[in-house]
Structure 1
Amino acid sequence: MALFELKQDTGSGAAAPWAPPTFKDCVAADIDAAFFEENEHADRHTVDGKDVLIVLEDDDLREHSAHWEAGAKQNFDTGLYTAHTILYIRAEDYGPKPKIGKQLVLDKGTKSQRTYTINLCQEESGVYRMTMERTRQ
């Protein structure tokens, strides 16, 4: 005597054979599970008014030539320095691909607010890689 009955519906046709995931399938899963994992790699920021997970990579800081006058560094035409930054953000979180030259505001309304100019934006596997710069006046 059985304690329970087990009825299985195996469908009307033969089951599709199992296929291992492709490399692209694994990469797509890793983008969310590893790259945009808040506790591991990504940080939460406000990008153009949206609270999203991003990865920031500070590339370099280039000081512009200037001269000293009246005890202060003077450089009115090009700014004191240019900071280059790379931002990674999910395309679905940002929206349509931004145009070159667009102003991007990071962490608006906080003491760490920064405004960048987008120099290059590339999309791969649903992630935008934006190369940006900001000039300190």
Structure 2
Amino acid sequence: MLPAADQAGHSLPRRSDAVRSSSLPGSVQVSEEPGAGSISDPYESAGVRQGRVRRQGGAYVFGIAISEAAYLSLIARSGRTEQEWVAEVRPALDEASRTHPPLREASSARQEAHPRQIRDDDFAYGLERVLDGLAARLDA
């Protein structure tokens, strides 16, 4: 199930749409039905193999899901909430970014945001870039 298109016209699946619990946490299930998923159909009609599009988009979603699962597992094992954990590591991040103004500014701008919102925003941004790259191939 794909949600409505974003501002750039991309259909953006949520991690929860692509990641399902099966035999392994974070397993990705991809439909093999012809025409399944609006993300692939325009590419196939333009001569781009559907499997390649699925692999590229799926690789990004799968990679983020695995990384996020590891991150959240680490936090859960610490016995803290994500917000508590972020608050604890924040001084080290601030110190490390002290001599890197762009990193410091980006970190400071998001300091008050909930960690879940930051993850969701980063996921959407990255997926948009993957889709932009695939769209650029169609235009070439």
Q: Which has the higher contact order (CA 8 A, sep 6+)?
A: 2
Confirm or deny a common fold (TM above 0.5): no
TM-score (normalised: structure 1) = 0.22
TM-score (norm 2): 0.22
Query: Which has a greater percent of strand?
Result: 1
The structure number with the bigger radius of gyration is 1
